[in-house]
Amino acid sequence: MLGTNGPITIPENFKEITIQENGVITVTDDNNNRQQVAQLEIVEVELPQMLQQVGDNLFMLPNNLAALGYNEADILGVIAENEVSVKQFFLEGSNVDMAQEMTELMTTQRAYQFNATSVTMADQMMGLVNSIR
């Protein structure tokens, strides 16, 4: 996880971590002292084809960006603070419209059934033609 000043490190012996809507990470220690640790750097990937998958839904920039003729600013665009909000204790919602996907699945299934039926009927007709000879 990267912040605006590089990798984010959380101090040991903390009691609570809070992430505010603007991406500020605050840590509360055992003595109830609050300390701002970092600010999340939220970016938009403008060239997703340049990312390398590292597994488990994680991606990274290639190590040889300069050799490929790119720099980090070409691939990642910083999003303005007023254009995004971070929600703590929320699960990420996928951008999949479940109703649309189920409709497409049923349409595909029906098309497959019709094709399978037509192949079966063609096979039966060929058998009938062969038996007439």
pLDDT tens by residue, 74-86? 898 888 778 888 8
CA 4 vs. chain centroid, Å, equals 21
Rama region for 57: left / alpha / beta (φ>0; ψ in -120 to 50; rest): left
Boundaries of every domain in the chain = 95-133
Share of the chain above pLDDT 90, in %: 34
Here the tokens at position 102 are 């189920």
Site of tokens 């390398």: 52
Distances (CA, A) of 53 to 9, 73, 97, 115: 23, 19, 25, 37
pLDDT tens by residue, 61-106? 898 988 999 988 889 888 877 888 888 887 776 667 788 999 999 9
Instruction: Using the predicted structure, report yes or no on whether residue 108 has a pLDDT greater than 90.
Output: yes
